[in-house]
Each structure stands twice: as C-alpha cells, then as structure tokens.
A and B are shown apart, each in its own frame.
Chain A
Amino acid sequence: MLAVICFMVFVPTVATAQNAPANEYQVKAAFLYNFAKFVDWNDSKLAAPPYPFTICVLGADPFGKVLNDTLLGKTIEEHPVMLVRYPHPAEISGCQIVFISASETPHLPEVFADLRKHDVLTVGDSEGFATAGGMIEFTMQDHDVHFTINPDAAARAGLRISSKLLALATIVHDPPRGAGGE
C-alpha cells in the first residue's frame, strides 16, 4: 500500500521527452510538466518553496520510467518537482497535478468526487475525460499529441489556465445540466 515516492531534487538534467524521438508517453510526460507552467498557482494552493510541487499518477501507471526521467531535476517557480504514484484516490493528498490513468475510467465520477476537496489539476488520456469533468484530456491526431481543456472544470477547482494554453487547446465545456457529475 505504500506510495512509491521518488525525489528528484537538484539532480542534473537528463535528456527530456521533447528532444527524444516522439514516443507518445514521452510527449505526454513533457506536456504534463509544461501544463504546470500555464496555470496560476496562487499561494493558497502551493506553499512557498522549498515546498515541493507534487505531480501524482493515479491508478495503473502508463508512463513507467519515462515520467521519472522527464521530471528529474525540474522545478516549477523554484519549487522542486516531486512525483508520487497513488493506487487509490482516497489516499491522494498534497498534489498539484493528478494524472488519472485510463485504468480509473470506470469510476471517474468517484475519483473526481474524491479530488474535489483538493483543488488539483486533473489530467487524463481516456476518451471523454474532459467532457466527463476532467480538466485536460490528451488526444491523438495523426500520431501527434493534442489536448482538450475543460475550462469549466478548472474554474470549479479555482484554477486559472493561461489563455496562451487555452489558445493551443480544443475547448470543451461541461455538457448541459444533468449530463455531468454535478
């Protein structure tokens, strides 16, 4: 049950996913990190450095070692980046970004319900993730990784996503009342 915790603090940078030949999860790992830069993390959501910026993976980890490599030695606004893997949503605490694995698709509503109290940026790659109430969903178009953003979901969690990021994404909104988890 123990979380597998990897500290990647002040360690020399290694090759990142962007530079390597585009493997889908390499790219996704890099995007995951870059998303952090286009979200306004105010003080209420992130304590002052050296408090770490924590990225979590919930459920079966599709990244493997790639995510570790990508995040190794990185910082967000001077916060060292930490990666934590959780098997169960109830255990999650202190995260800023949670990647919700496809393995959690069957019980997404419960997951979102659990995360509601944490004000985290939810990222997933299961189809319809954004529509279902996730904030950013990775999509594939001609082997390129794109993403869809649900600004409504982000606004619910009190997170403000940069317009620059929004300009790059496909925007979806919550389905009309009654269709979503609300």
Chain B
Amino acid sequence: MRKKADISIRQKLSRIVLVSCGAAILLACSIFGAYDISTFRHSQADALATLAEIVGSNTTAALAFGDAKSARETLDSLSAQPHIVEACVYARNGSILASYRRHDVSADFFPAKPGSDGVSVVSKRRIVFRQIRLEDQAIGTIYLEADLDALNGRIKNLAEVVFIVVLATLFVTYFVSFRLVRAISEPILELARTAFAVSVNKDYSIRATKRSQDEVGFLFDRFNEMLAQIERREADLRQSQGQLEKRVDERTHELQKEVAERKQAGQELRESEARLQALVSSIDEVVFEFDADATYRNVWTRNEELLARPKDELIGRRAADVVGEEAAQSLIEVFRRVLETGLGESLEYSTPVQSQTHWFLARVNPIESPDGDWRTICMTARDITDRKRSEGELVRAKEAAESASLAKSEFLANMSHEIRTPMNGILGMTELALDTVLTPEQREYLKMAKTSADSLLALLNDILDFSKIEAGRLELDPIDFGLRDAVGATMKTLGLRAHQKGLELAWRIDAGVPDSLAGDPGRLRQVLVNLVGNAVKFTEKGEVVLQVAGEDHASGGVLLHFQVCDTGIGISKNKQDLIFEAFTQADGSTTRQYGGTGLGLAITKRLVELMGGTIWIESESGRGSTFHFTARFGASSAARLPQISAEPDALRGVRVLVVDDNETNRLILGEMLSQWGLDPEMAESGRAALAALRRMRNRGTEFALVVSDVLMPGMDGFDLAEEIRKIPDFSHLPILMLSSSTRSREAERCRRLGITSYLIKPVQPSELFNALLTALARPVESGSGENLSARTTGSPEGNRKMRILLAEDNLVNRTLAVRLLEKHHHTVLVAENGHQVLAALKREAIDLILMDLQMPEMDGLEAIRIIREGEKETGAHMPIIAVTAHAMKGDRERCMQAGADDYVTKPIKIEELFASIHNLALPSASESSGDSRCEKNESRSAFDLAEALELVEGDRDLLYQLACLFEEECSKLLDGMRDAIARKDAARFSELAHTLKGSSAHFGGRMVSGAIERMSASATAHEWDAANDRFIAVEQEMSRLNAELDMHVRKVSS
C-alpha cells in the first residue's frame, strides 16, 4: 500500500478538493437539518400546549359543576387530532373526571396524579399537563399525550434529501477538480523533468521553459538563475582547485614543523612542572590549592603525616568533609574575603592529625590566572603545634607570676592596714590622754609615746613607699595644679617646725616659672617635705631657703630646678654619695641624734627620678648644705590661674617699707613687691625702719604701707608698730605683720595697734597680694576694737555644731573618733556597718557621714553607693568622707567612684579630718575663721558662697564654670571701664558697669553692686574724679571677689 506522501500531487489535490467539498456540504446539511428539527419540535410542543389550553378552557363549566358527561364530550372532540393518543381531565381533588383515548389504543395509561404545568417527552410520547382555572382559581388539570410520528417522519425525509445532495455534489466536484488540478501539476512535472535531465547529464546549460507568470513561472526563473550560478561556480571551482592543492601542501609542511616544536616544549614544561612539584613538596609548609568553595584542588607536602587524610583522598573533596562544617565555613569566609580584596590573610587553625590535635599557621593568598579565567586559593600551612604548646606554658607561667605578684601586693596592702588600725588607736588615744589632767611626769611619758608612734607611722609609710618603689608600683598621679599654692602650702606646714626652732624658713619661685602645671603635687610635696624637713632637722640656727627656677621650657613641659639651702651641719664629701642609698645616713651617730629611718632620701631620689629629674648635693661639713633636684612637669591644660604679676594699677608705684632682720626674707619680699609694681624700701631692723619713715616724711613723701616681720632682735615687729603709731602722721599707716607663730597675745596686740593684716610665714604670694590690696583699699581705724582673726591650721571648723554619723566597726577607732569629734562640740551618732548607716539615715537628721570602708556585713563603698543611688531621686546630697586604712593607689579612685566627697587615711590626722569636714560641710565657716585679714567682722566678705550656691541650686560645677567665666569677663570689663574713664565716655562706662553688676550678682555681690551703682551715677553726672575714685574701689572689690572665688569655688572644685 502506498504511503500518503508517495501519492502524486495531482491525486493529492483531487482528494483535497473532494474531501473539503464533501465535508462542507455535509456540515451545512447537518446544521440545517438540526435546526429544522429543533424548530419543528418546538412548534409541535407549542401546538400541543395550545390544544391543552383550548380543551381545558372548554371543560371549565363541566369541572365547576362536576359534569363528567359534558367533559367527556369535550374530550371526544380530540379525535380530530390523530396524533393525540390519550387525554384526561383531573378534578380539583386529583380524581379523573373524564378521559379520552385514540381508537387504536387499547388501555389507559394516565398518570395517577396530575403533574405540574408544562410539555415534556416521556417514553417516546409528548405529554402536557395544564391547570384549568376559573376566575384565577384552579379547579382541575387537563392531560394530553401525543405521539412523535410527525417528528420522526420529518427526520427521515431530511436524511434522504441530505444524502442525495451530498452525492450529487461529490460527483460534480470530482470532474471539475480533475480538470483544474492538471493545470497546476503539469508545470511542476515539467520542472522535475528538467532537473532530472540536469542531474543525470551534469549539463548545467539546460534551461526550463517558462509557460506562465504565476508562482510557478517565478519558480522557473529562479531555477534557471540557480543553474546559471552553478555553471559559473563550477568554472571557478575548477580554477581554484589547483591553487588549493598547492597551499595544502605548504600548510602540511608547516604543521609538521610546529608539531615537532610543541613536542619539545611539552617536554620542557613537564620537566619544569616536575621540578616545581618537587620544590613545593620539599618545603616544610603544607601547600594547598583550594577552590573558592573550599574544595581541595591540589595538595603538596613533604610530610604526608601532616595531612588529615592521605593526599589522594583529599583532592576533590570538600573541606567540610575533612575539617568539619564549622571550620569549613570560616575557611570559605576567609577565601571569600581574600578573593574579594586580593590581599592575603593569615589564620590559625587546629585539626586532628594522627589522632592528635595539630595547630597550623596558614597564609591564604588568591591565585589568578593571567587572563583572569579562573581564581583559586593558595593556602600554605605551617605546623606550629610546638610553638603553641610553649606559648601555652608561657601564658601559664606568666599568670602564675602575676598572681604571685598580686598576692604580694595584697599582702602589703593588708599588712599596712593591719598595722595602721592599731596605730590609729595608739596615736589618737595618746592625744586624748594628753588633753586630760596629767602630772608632768605622765605628760612627759605620753609625749614620748606619741613621738615614738609618730616615728613608727612615718617609718611604716616610708617602708610602704619604698616597697612600692622596689616593686615598680609607685606611679605618679598627674593632675593640674598651681605650683605656688602647692609649694606655699607645704612650706607653711614646715614653717611651724622651723619657727619652733627659731629658724627662718623662706621660699621664692622665679617670676618666669609658670604657675599652672601638670604633675603630681602630692609627690612633689613629699620630696619637699623630706628635703626641707631634713634641712630644718639638721639646722640649729640660721635659715632654710627653697628656691625654684625654670630650666627648660622644651616641648610644652617645663624642667624646674629646686634648691634647698640650709645653714646646718653639712655633709662631708665622702658621705655625700651614700646618703641617697636606702637605710643609710650620713653618720651612724646622726641616726641616734636626729632619728629617722634613713629611707627618706632614698625614696626622694626615686621620686625625683620618677618625675624625670635628678637629685644631687653640694655641701661642706659644718657650713651647711644645698640639695638640688630637678623635676619635669607638663603644661597645665586648665585655664590659667590668675597671675599675680598682672600689676594692678592700684599697686603701681606704691612705696612700701619692708622690715625684716633676715636678708633672704628681705630679698624675697622685695622681689615680690617689685614684681607687682610697688616700690619697696628695705630696713633690717625696727630702728632702721623708723629712721627710714622719718627720713621719708622729711622729704615730703610717705610710705603707703609697712610690711614688718614680728620676730626681730632688739625691737620686734609689735614694738615697731607701737613706735609708728606714736608718730602722729602715721597713726593710720597700714601695717602688715608677718609672724612665725600664732599666739592669742599677738592677736590681741594686733587689734590694739590697728594692724591691718597678720600673715603666717612663709608667706604665699597670693596671700600677700590680697593683704596688700585690702590694706591699701581702706584707711586704718586704729584702736577701734577691730576683730582680728589669724589664720591657724588648728580648728577651721568654726563653732557650728554638727550631727555626724560615724560608721566604724573597730571599737578603739570608734571611741577615738567619737571623743575627737565630741571635743569639737559635734554630736556623734555611731553605726557599725553599712546597714546601720542606712537605718540611721532614715531615722536621724545627719549633717555629715564619716565612713570607714572596711566593715562587716555591708562595707562602706556599698553603703555609699546605695546612699548616692537614693539621692538620685531626692536630689539631696549627703556629704560623705571616706576613711580608709588602705594606702595603696586606687583606693582614692574607688572611694570617689563610689560617690564619697572626700577621703582621709588612717591613722586619722585631726587637722586633715577637720580640714576635710570644713571643706565639705561648712563652707560658710571658712569666711569668718579662714580669713587672715584684720577687718571688721561685719565687713562682710565680698563673696557669699551660701547665697551663690543657692542661686545655682547647689550645683557646684555650674558655680565653678560661672566663676571661671566671671574672672575672664571681669578683667575685660574693668579694662574697658578704665578706658572709658580716660575718654570720659559716660554711656560706654555705664553700659559696662551694668554688665559687671549683672555678672557679679551671680556670686551674691550685693555690696559690690552698690558700689558699682554709685560709680555709674558719678560717671553719668560727669563727676569724673569721683567716678575714678569709686572705680578704683570697685576694682579692688572685684579682685577681692576673684580671690575669694579662687579660694572657695575654683580651688575646691578643681
């Protein structure tokens, strides 16, 4: 049987035409037939429904009156409709009232009950139910049943017609298509024959003959063109074939040569590769090549035992399978980074090798093909297991050493605490005992006991310091500080001892030495105390002088040169090298004579070295000695403290008479006064002074001020003052008295003689400066019973009674502290641990807490923390002084961190404690007792701290900032005002005065504001002389206010 594809085009076309025609006709007839039958069926159904309607309507009366006979007659009329097979009328209750059946039907098949209205087809019969209604009321139903003979007959007829039509159509189509197809197939066959001829004969010159202009004609044209092209190409081909053969020969020759070369290069490459492999394999490191996803690409190693698995197993494996998922992840992470950045990375990792953990130090580098096709990772890993092991041992050894060192330090701190606690008891109790009524003998013994205890404490401190130095644990605690204040304060304490021995103690600092420095003032003080203390100790008569000079101002810091010069026993040349050694004094015998541990200078030397300096001595036995040392300090970052060398106009050119028997003192005082612009004249005795005064008066000029020493041979300072007051012209001459001691008798005389100020030597420049300003500001009212108070270091806490809560667990210490405080009229409440402190705070009104840090149950630090925590809510602030036996560095920080306001160490020094209490709780007390000037009590200080604090709601930091700003602003304003006076510019002057008044009001300067107002009024009235006088007064008030702010605010806060 032939496949469809093999049938000729002619036949195919014939069949296509026939099939499509047949299908079209058939489809058309079918649709037409279906439509016809459907329409017929619908018309039949409608006819039946109409018939039912008519017959039903005719039976309404019969139904209404139940007349079956009449109904039957009506139904019988259906015999005119041959297709009706059966019919019946149902009464309203469903019973059959009347029925009809066609003559050829033998039995009734009425449905038992009437159905719902509508036509339907059931078992080849069309049936219809129709309700019969009378006046909208259903009174029965009619039922008709018709056969489908009419429909069937119509279908049959249709089928016959369709059959005939299709047959006829096909017949006609066949003949027509036969003719048409010929016209298409003939040219194609012609073309096929031509092509056959060409292919058989290989004769490309034959051409097909075109017969028409249609698509086939076009095909003929293209076929002929193609033949023409082939013919041309054939010719070309034949021509080029000769050339090609030649070129193939040449190329073959070249290729043979190239193959030979490649072979040789491959050989060389293999050799090179082998050498490289051998090289890589020979190094100690294991070299891996990884893909970016940490798959081993290649591994080289000298020692395969360093691999987690044999080399062959590794290659192509993922790292996760070898070192575990987690390690592999971190590797991939590193690889990613390395590939991204192109920079190598190092990493350490451990991996189990031969069931032992090995540590490797690996270097990861990216490898990139020169053309950038591929990128892999090279990882070289070195086995560092041994190094790791020794590192671990080192760390362990270091930890052991550190813990041992720590234990030693702890032991040291604890020891010092353990010893200090009983020492505290001994010292305190001895002091208390000395206050009781004693026989001279007992007093003598107790004094000796106290001296011994003091020495023991000093020794203990020295030992502690020394051990710290030995351990290299002594560290400087650098802060910003004022050099002159620091040195002055130290010298003041040492002055007491010197004056007791009748020695002059003096100090001066070169004017060029900056005052604001960064360093450890505590350690500087220790050095000075040691050196000056020694000098005082070993000098029987004469003087001890401290001089400070600047040496080197390089690199922001300053190297200071300190000299301590005495007129004591001196040290022989051969001992001079030894004295700085520990436990050595110049002479064994001196130890017995003067006491001391022999550690002082050794410690001093170390401290000086720590401060970046050196220490040395110049001495000659029997002719005194001079200790030199240098120390390096940083420049202070804090705002510069007021420079006294500012030369206020008030002091410029003022003539001052200085009376002192000691030459050094005279020199120092002279220098200071000259610096401030005064014009000093020196007198070495009372008589010389009086002579100078008289001489000056005769010349017509006057001294504005006399500064006199109290202790002078022959005529002392008070005698001189008395003599001066006797001269009528000098009854109001201001006199400044410099004394070595404070005795109430002196204070009394001071008052009587109208002494303006009374200063304790050695005098601090700032003190003297303030005293000068005060003395020159007001004329002296002699003998008017001025209340004079002298500065003492004794009892600065004034008379205010306080309720102090003492937290201390040690019975002895507690008793001591209670007695000390009660002696100063304070009420003391006692707590033995932190819990009791907190409880007491809730119950009692407390002014201040003294808190021992080491207590059972709840220690001091904890208690302080809780108190401060509570205060965060209330906003209150309880002054707390921490008391500790710890002398180690860091204690102070811990106390302050916990929130203590101040810190004193055991054994408690009464002065220190009260100074601290004074600073914290009684700032107002300092004004009455801490002021050395002779002035009226009612002459109010320029500055009211309590009021100032009130204005800033107790915020000391804020007050401090305000004070610093004020200082700056004040000097600018005053300059401006001075300028305004010179130019007689009233408006400008008033403006500045107003600003000054506003600024000073922050510090409770009521009195100042009055003065400013008066001054401003004078200026406005153009009374320039009066204004100038009042301006000078205001200027003085301002410098006083600034000085006091320095004392109470700037210094306290900084």
Contacts and interface: CB of A to CB of B under 8 A. Distances in A.
Given A19-B93, A37-B135, A164 B58 contact: yes
Interface in A50-87: 76-77
Contacts of A103: none
B838 interface: no
Contacts of A34: 64-65
Given A38-B61, A165-B61, A167-B61, A18 B135 contact: no
Interface residues of B, number: 13
B494 interface: no
Contact of B66 (A18, A147, A164): A18
B60 interface: yes
A98 B490 CA distance: 152
A34 B726 CA distance: 166
A35 B135 CA distance: 12
B912 interface: no
B70 A168 contact: yes
B635 interface: no
B95 to A, nearest CB: 11
Contacts of B64: 34, 37-38
A22 to B, nearest CB: 9
Contacts of A162: 61
A37 B64 CA distance: 9
A31 interface: yes
A38 B134 CA distance: 9
Interface in A9-41: 18-19, 31, 34, 37-38
Contact of A37 (B62, B70, B134): B134
Contacts of B663: none
Contacts of A76: 135
B60 A168 contact: no
Contact of B62 (A19, A31, A77, A168): A168
B67 interface: yes
Interface in B65-101: 65-67, 70, 92-93
Given A18-B66, A31-B65, A164 B135 contact: no
A147 B65 CA distance: 10
Given A18-B66, A37-B135, A77-B135, A164 B93 contact: no
A77 B66 CA distance: 21
Interface string B39-77: 000000000000000000010111011110010000000
A37 B135 CA distance: 7
A167 B70 contact: yes
Contacts of A164: 58, 60-62
A38 B67 CA distance: 15
B402 to A, nearest CB: 113
Nearest to B73: A167
Q: Which of A19, A38, A147, A162 has the most CB of B within 10 A?
A: A38
Interface residues of A toward B: which range?
Answer: 10 to 19
Nearest to A19: B93
Contacts of A165: 61, 65
B408 to A, nearest CB: 120
Contacts of B62: 164, 167-168
A129 B960 CA distance: 141
A77 to B, nearest CB: 6
A28 B70 CA distance: 19
Which of B62, B66, B70 lies at the interface centre, i.e. has the most chain A CB atoms within 10 A of its CB? B66
Contacts of B92: 18
Contacts of A37: 64, 134-135
A147 B61 CA distance: 13
A168 B135 contact: no
Contacts of A31: 65
B55 to A, nearest CB: 13
A133 B630 CA distance: 168
A121 B706 CA distance: 163
A143 to B, nearest CB: 13
A168 B58 contact: no
A159 B917 CA distance: 139
Contacts of B58: 164
A168 B62 CA distance: 7
Nearest to A77: B135
Contact of B61 (A18, A19, A77, A168): A168
B59 to A, nearest CB: 9
A76 B64 CA distance: 14
Contacts of B60: 164
A79 to B, nearest CB: 11
Contacts of B70: 167-168
Nearest to B74: A167
Contacts of A168: 61-62, 65, 67, 70
> Considering residues A147, A162, A164, A165, which has the most beta carbons from chain B within 10 angstroms of its beta carbon?
A164
Interface in B116-171: 134-135
A178 B61 CA distance: 34
Contacts of A147: 65
Contacts of B65: 31, 34, 147, 165, 168
B431 to A, nearest CB: 127
Contacts of B93: 19
Nearest to B65: A168
User: Which among B61, B64, B65, B66 has the greatest number of chain A C-beta atoms within 10 A?
Assistant: B65
B925 to A, nearest CB: 115
B506 to A, nearest CB: 139
A162 to B, nearest CB: 7
Nearest to B93: A19
Interface string B338-375: 00000000000000000000000000000000000000
A167 B74 CA distance: 11
B139 to A, nearest CB: 9
Contacts of A19: 93
Interface string A131-170: 0000000000000000100000000000000101101100
A29 to B, nearest CB: 13
Contacts of B135: 37, 76-77
A96 to B, nearest CB: 15
A48 to B, nearest CB: 16
B69 to A, nearest CB: 9
B71 to A, nearest CB: 10
Interface string A102-130: 00000000000000000000000000000
Nearest to A165: B61
A162 B60 CA distance: 11
A164 B62 CA distance: 8
Nearest to A33: B64
A89 to B, nearest CB: 28
A19 B94 CA distance: 12
A147 B67 CA distance: 11
B855 to A, nearest CB: 106
A137 to B, nearest CB: 14
Contacts of B66: 18
A77 B136 CA distance: 9
Interface string B888-922: 00000000000000000000000000000000000
A35 to B, nearest CB: 9
A87 to B, nearest CB: 30
A165 B67 CA distance: 10
* B58, B61, B134: most-surrounded residue (chain A CB, <10 A): B61
A76 B135 CA distance: 8
A162 B58 CA distance: 12
Which 6 pairs, one residue from A and one from B, show the smallest C-beta to C-beta distance? A164-B61, A34-B64, A168-B67, A165-B61, A168-B70, A168-B65
16 contacts: A19-B93, A31-B65, A37-B64, A37-B135, A38-B61, A38-B64, A76-B135, A147-B65, A164-B58, A164-B60, A164-B62, A165-B61, A165-B65, A167-B61, A168-B65, A168-B67
Given A18-B92, A34-B64, A38-B64, 7 more contacts: A37-B135, A38-B61, A77-B135, A164-B60, A165-B61, A167-B62, A167-B70
Interface of A: 18-19, 31, 34, 37-38, 76-77, 147, 162, 164-165, 167-168
Interface of B: 58, 60-62, 64-67, 70, 92-93, 134-135
